[in-house]
Amino acid sequence: MVDFRRMIPVLAVIAFLLGSAVTASAQQTLSCVTNGAVNTPMRAEGLTEQTGDFLITCTGGTAIAYGAPVPTVNIQVFLNTAVTSRLMSSSSTLPQLSEALLLLDEPAPGAQYGCPNSNLTGGTCPAFGNGAGAPIYGASGLLLASNNRNVFQGIQTASNSITWLGIPIDPPGTSGTRIIRLTNLRGNANQLGVSGTNVTPVSVFATVTATPFNFLPVSGLATQSVGSVQRGLQFGVFSSTSSTSAFSPGSLQQCVSRGASDGSVAVLRYSELFATSFKRRNIATTSALPLASAEQNSLAGFLAGTYNTETGFTTGALAGGTTLPSMGSGFQAIGQADFGTRLKAVFNNVPNGVNLFVDRTATANGGADRADLTASETGGFVGVAATSGSPASGASTQLTVTNGSATAVWEVLDSQATSFAVLNFRVWATFTASPGTNSPALGVATVNGSYAPTSTVTTASPGPIPRFADTSSATNVFTIVPCVTTLLFPYVTSAFGFDTGLAISNTSLDSGVFNTSPQSGSCTLNWYGASFTGVTPTAVVNAGTTFTTLASTTLSNVTGGFTGYMIAQCRFQYAHGFAFVSDLGARNLAMGYLALIIPDYGLGTAAGARPASSLDKSPLGAGEQLGY
Amino acid sequence: MQFRNKLPLVLLLITLTMAGLANAQTVTVIAGDGLLVRPTQASTTLTVLVRNAQGQPVPGAAVNWALSGQGALASTQSTTDSTGQASNQYTAQILFGGNFATSVVTASALGVSANMNIITSGADQSNIDNTFVSVQLIAPALGDLTSGAAGSTSTTAVRAQIFAVGPTGFQGVPNVLIRLVSDTTGTTISCSGNTGYSDFNGNVNCLPVFGGQPSSARYTVEVGGGYRIFGPFNFTVTAGQVAAFRITGGNNQSGNPGAILPVSLQARVEDAAGGGLANIPVVWEPVVPGTATITNASNVSDANGNVSANVTLGTAVGAIQVRLRTQTGTVQTLFTFQVNLTVTGFTKVAGDPQEAITNTAFAQPLVVQVTTAQGPTAGLQVQFTAPAGVTLASNGVATTNAQGQASMTVTAGNNPGPVTVTAAIGGLAVSFNLSIRLPGPQINLNSFFNGAGGQPGGVSPAAILAIYGNGIATGLQGCVTGNQIVGPLSILVSNVSVLFTGAGGFQGYAPIYAVCNLGPAQQYVVVQVPAELPIGVTSVTMRVGTGQTVVDNVPVTLVSPGVFETTVYSDLQKRAVLLKEDGSYVSLENPARRGETVRAFVTGLGRPRSKNGFLIGTNQGGILGDDASPQPSIVVGVNNGGVTPTSVVYAQDLIGVYIVTFVVPADSATGPNVNFVVAASLNENLIFSNPSRFPVQ
């Protein structure tokens, strides 16, 4: 039997010797560590959120001899969600060239040389050693090494992975470090969900592998957190730009016209939940020059956080006339975004006959943050002019309502990363009252607020960038309510040999006197008595006509007759009632009275409760209030 | 066999059984099970519901909490509120060095308990916000639309994997609960059964169950109570299969024919889960066509699944039904109504008035005619009511026949007297005036005797008649006379009356001389037969108190002579009553003498007629100055020889009595018992009186 106890000192000696050997050879061995990964806030609503860059820093090793080929490495990065960097092809079938880039040694603008080849399109860009491991890159020159490239385009090889094939890694030796930066990585933040409280962000992790490993021996944590997902937008509906209290949708009376001079019915408020959740498209984008664009190729700009745009690292100014396999163009070029952050309001169930207007522009933080209405959700920014005669003296624009739905999209043109933006957009609803033709129609309009454009494309695609999941929910924004006159007949009887004659006149026809708009509608007679409690309708009472009945006739089926009171709800204004109580044949006793008008607060709304006092004279747009 | 060894097992089984019976209460986890928490998360609320054996929430129950595993509870005991719920707070403990930890919280109350699994994620020691447990939502994808009928379960699962990648490598996280949370009130989506829990590998295959109102809505996938929230995703609940119509109003009303029922028929179209189904086409129809008219009916259910209709009743009376069904009729329900009867008329047809002897059925049933707006209606129930003691057939309920008539048999009770029986229907009523009497006297054709001579028969106009029978004078001792010494006779004496009914509608009460009860078989009444009684037969109705007896076909003869006799003779023998001219009565001591004129008293010689031709009526004496005589010839027999009376005159002061005056023949035999008879000559036939006698000297 082996005496293991005696072996322990031997093993310890061997381990010591092995450790000493590693330490002794550190000067010649290439060593790479992951560090400096930037953990970037990512919007939980976003499908194409920029992650932080992933950095690998290598030191040591033996620099490749002058003129010798630099060994190449395949570098692959994985996210724990879908990679949604722009595919630089109209096809989404993988593998495809991506806008994701690998940069060597932090090249400054003017020193960025693109590798035009990739294994996807035929070959890689060979590199040659300079003997010192120094960061020498270029597009031409007598020295072989002066033609080495430092900007490589990635290939999306899986839904959550980008691969760079044949990247030459020259060990820096004693010259310093070799820095590998993976940039233009976008991920589907929405796919990771969000914590219920939104307090603790959900991390986006990137994991890097290298093949062959000995050419890029990454130690330390190959997985780094490159993003923190949290909700970016808070949408709400308020009664005014300054209000913070809960919103109660306004009840707009069908019979009362609303024009441009009437106030807004609601304010749509889009608030940043972190300071960089509203971003303009490009550093050149401003409200004055919404389509202006500039290169964002300074790493210092990223590191300093001065970009904070929807656009990433651009390659429109590669040095030496170099290119990449698929550069794209315009706003669809590598790194570019199609537009800035967009905010969308979708109105639904807009009653027929209602005209909707919204603010064209909203600003915050003294104008440092601004969003303007644009013509479409997914097209390039096109400013929308004010509609003639629109509310707020040209500040608003009418929306096109189709089948009860209308959409407004604003794009962030100015943004400031050092403050929280709160953008308020007013909403107006105007209409010409025509209750006789049921216009506007009765109903409750709703609004959904979200980022835009919304999309269900959750994996990499040619665009657009940015895009978002629709996380909105509907909020009531206003209600068209019927015009009602409520009449109280305090005593009605058809019992004990008595009967009550009831008359309701629709006095909305007064042409030549007040020229009130005629209205028509039926009345609902609500009976409350010991022998009967129920509802009977009347026929339509046209303007200028009178509905009459006897209690005994309407309630002919009530055994023993009816005694109680009745509340008539007429679907028109200016109803007036009269009752005449008498014994049958009016031989002995008879008396008449005018029905009382119960103040109209708008039926069916929270504010529609019957006022406790008839002296309360603040109904919502009611007609006359004569019942006091 | 060693039964002793089995005893503990039996006791254990009994104990467990009893424990089972006693522990019918339940503790149900409302919130807390399947939680996935991060170490830094604030405390989480755990809630349980305690119900009693009847399934009702138990307020005020003590709930004991116990924790197995890491973390801490805010308290070890709490008390259920008014809804039977009790809560506690769980706070996770920071977990380094492990992927995750599972704690089990046990809530116990009323002897039962429930467990909650709470999973705490491990965290990176260098960054506590980096938790090891991750969630990957596999399905649905953004933009996917999940849809299904209300009450149905989708076969497309919401799939997720809860896993941890930490110090112990990759691990699935079991027992984490995911919930599907709808953003629209009334439109629901949830995981079926226990499909919302992750399995050992951390996989969840939640099968969505749709419910509530058909609508398009959104839902989020909430993992572990909010550890992760995914979505929103779209879902649509379509109208489910109709499982039932639930009546919510308007059933079991009643009304008059043609009336609109005051309350609308209301029902809710529901799926198997009890959710209302919108836009379901429905059909309303009377079960029997024509029995009701449906108006304002909902053709489809509204947003809440409600349908309604108004009903106008038809003319059919009684119970009618309206059916609410789906278009295919596979699901239906019935509303039942009562159509009130409209009685337009209610009259008596037969049976009023009438009389019956105590404890016997009235001879005629009481018959009523019900007239309704619908015409003669069979099957209507007429309610008869009567005073206590009077028996009505079928508990007083009679049903109309095809002619609308209802008949009721009534049986008299013990108590004599008037009785009112009332029949009622539809608010109308009629009364029958009935009378209950005691049983009448026991008389028959053999009860009639000449009032003077006592021979059977004796019923002839103006004759004095004796009617014998038990029950005529029950309780009476002796006689009660009917006159006032002078004046006419009464027709009601001692509650006895005698009515003669003859041909040609004749009816006449007999004047009564006396009502007597002289002992057994000696109850009788002495009356004058009405003078106007037609010859032939008569019905004699004798009423004694409330009882009466009718004897029909009593022969009525023109004459029925009878000689009044007396026993006042000294030898107490019965002989004719004879009056001498000096006013003295013939007696043994004062016998009639040959050649002497005497007067005999006779009845039954027929209706007297005066010389002037006036017919003497009932209860009348003879006419002064216009003597009335019998219409047939009268012959007197003395000592078996005929004697022509000197006069036969209807007595002026005696009702029903003739005075026959004759001369005792000179050659008459003498002695105390000379035969004497009076005969009437009819068609040359002599109708003899009772044979009598008198003393002659």
Q: Where is pLDDT greater, at B341 or A70? A: A70
Contact B40 A200 (CB under 8 A): yes
Q: Can you say whether the dihedral through the CA atoms of B278, B281, B284, B287 is positive or negative?
A: negative
Nearest to B228 among A195, A470, A557 (CB): A195
Between CA B654 and CA A294 the distance in angstroms is 159
Q: CA of B145: which chain A residue's CA is closest?
A: A456
Question: Is the Cβ–Cβ distance between A493 and A500 less than 8 Å?
Answer: yes
When scoring B142, B260, B342 by the number of chain A Cβ atoms within 10 A, the one with the most, hence best to mutate, is B142
Between CA B336 and CA B314 the distance in angstroms is 13
Between CA B352 and CA B415 the distance in angstroms is 19
Q: CA of B182: which chain A residue's CA is closest?
A: A473
For B190-201, b/e burial (b = at least 16 CB within 10 A) is bbeeebbbbeee
Largest CA distance in chain A: 132
- Cβ contacts of B672 within 8 Å, gap of 6 or more: B571, B573, B588, B591, B693, B695
Nearest to A473 among B137, B183, B263 (CB): B183
Contacts of A455 in chain B (CB under 8 A): 142-143
Nearest to A458 among B40, B142, B218 (CB): B142
How many interchain CB pairs under 8 A, A with B?
66
Percent of chain B with pLDDT over 70: 96
Nearest to A469 among B38, B134, B142 (CB): B142
B24 pLDDT higher than 80: no
What pLDDT sits at residue A146? 79
**Cα A169–A173–A175 angle (5° rounding)?**
105
User: Exposed, middle or buried, B4 (CB in 10 Å: 0-12/13-18/19+)?
Assistant: exposed
Per DSSP, A125 falls in state: -
Confidence of residue B572 (pLDDT cuts 50, 70, 90): confident
3-state secondary structure of B580: strand
Nearest to A471 among B127, B227, B232 (CB): B232
Nearest to A195 among B142, B226, B232 (CB): B226
Contact B221 A473 (CB under 8 A): no
Nearest to A197 among B135, B226, B230 (CB): B226
Between CA A233 and CA A272 the distance in angstroms is 5
Between CA B204 and CA B178 the distance in angstroms is 8
Contacts of A191 in chain B (CB under 8 A): 137, 142, 230
Per DSSP, A11 falls in state: H
DSSP code string of A295-312 = ----HHHHHHT---SS--
Contact B227 A196 (CB under 8 A): yes
The CA distance from A474 to the nearest CA of chain B, in Å, is 9
Contact B135 A473 (CB under 8 A): no
Q: Which residues of B touch A (CB under 8 A)?
A: 38, 40-41, 127, 129-131, 134-135, 137, 141-144, 183, 218, 221-223, 225-232, 255-256, 259-263
Contacts of A203 in chain B (CB under 8 A): 129-130
B21 pLDDT higher than 70: no
B325 pLDDT higher than 50: yes
Q: CA of B127: which chain A residue's CA is closest?
A: A225
Phi-psi region of B498 (alpha: psi -120 to 50; beta: other; left: phi over 0): beta
- Residue numbers of chain A with a pLDDT score lower than 70: 1-28, 36-37, 121-122, 142-143, 197-199, 220-221, 586, 600-628
Contact B260 A201 (CB under 8 A): no
The CA distance from B91 to the nearest CA of chain A, in Å, is 16
Q: Where is pLDDT greater, at B352 or B303? A: B352
Contact A193 B130 (CB under 8 A): no
What pLDDT sits at residue A23? 35
The CA distance from B130 to the nearest CA of chain A, in Å, is 7
Contact B231 A197 (CB under 8 A): no
DSSP code string of A399-442 = PPPBTTBEEEEEEEEE--TTS--EEEEEEEEEB--BGGGTBSPP
Nearest to B130 among A197, A203, A469 (CB): A203
Contact B141 A458 (CB under 8 A): yes
Per DSSP, B489 falls in state: P
What pLDDT sits at residue B17? 37
Contact B260 A557 (CB under 8 A): yes
Contact B141 A534 (CB under 8 A): no
B196-219 mean pLDDT: 91
What pLDDT sits at residue A37? 62
Between CA B123 and CA B117 the distance in angstroms is 19
- Cα A114 to Cα A69, A141, A311, A312, A327: the distances in Å are 18, 15, 19, 17, 10
What pLDDT sits at residue A17? 33
What pLDDT sits at residue A30? 87
Contact B142 A201 (CB under 8 A): no
Contact A193 B255 (CB under 8 A): no
Contacts of B131 in chain A (CB under 8 A): 200
3-state secondary structure of B5: helix
What pLDDT sits at residue A534? 80
User: Exposed, middle or buried, A181 (CB in 10 Å: 0-12/13-18/19+)?
Assistant: buried
What pLDDT sits at residue B470? 87
Mean pLDDT of the residues in chain B: 88
The CA distance from B381 to the nearest CA of chain A, in Å, is 22
Q: Please give the structure tokens belonging to residue A236.
A: 């709400």
Contacts of B38 in chain A (CB under 8 A): 195, 200
Contacts of A202 in chain B (CB under 8 A): 228
B676-683 mean pLDDT: 91
Residue A258 CA, distance from chain mean position: 30
B161-185 mean pLDDT: 92
Nearest to B228 among A193, A456, A470 (CB): A193
Confidence of residue B653 (pLDDT cuts 50, 70, 90): confident
Phi-psi region of A367 (alpha: psi -120 to 50; beta: other; left: phi over 0): left
Q: CA of A188: which chain B residue's CA is closest?
A: B142
What pLDDT sits at residue A618? 45
When scoring B129, B308, B337 by the number of chain A Cβ atoms within 10 A, the one with the most, hence best to mutate, is B129
Q: What is the CB neighbour count within 10 angstroms for residue B560?
A: 32
Contacts of A47 in chain B (CB under 8 A): 142
Complex confidence, ipTM: 0.72
Largest CA distance in chain B: 177
B7 pLDDT higher than 70: no
Per DSSP, A46 falls in state: B
B106-113 mean pLDDT: 93
Contacts of A225 in chain B (CB under 8 A): 127, 130
Contacts of A193 in chain B (CB under 8 A): 135, 137, 221, 223, 228-230
Q: Which residues of A touch B (CB under 8 A)?
A: 47, 80, 190-197, 200-203, 225, 455-456, 458, 469-471, 473, 532, 534, 557-558
Contact A191 B263 (CB under 8 A): no
Residue type, position B569, single letter:
Y
Contact A80 B135 (CB under 8 A): no
SS (H, E, C) A181-247: EEECCEECHHHHCECCCCCCCEEEEEEEEEECHHHCCEECCCEEEEEEEECCEEEEEECCCCCCCCC
Between CA B551 and CA B443 the distance in angstroms is 7
Q: CA of B221: which chain A residue's CA is closest?
A: A193
Between CA A535 and CA A555 the distance in angstroms is 10
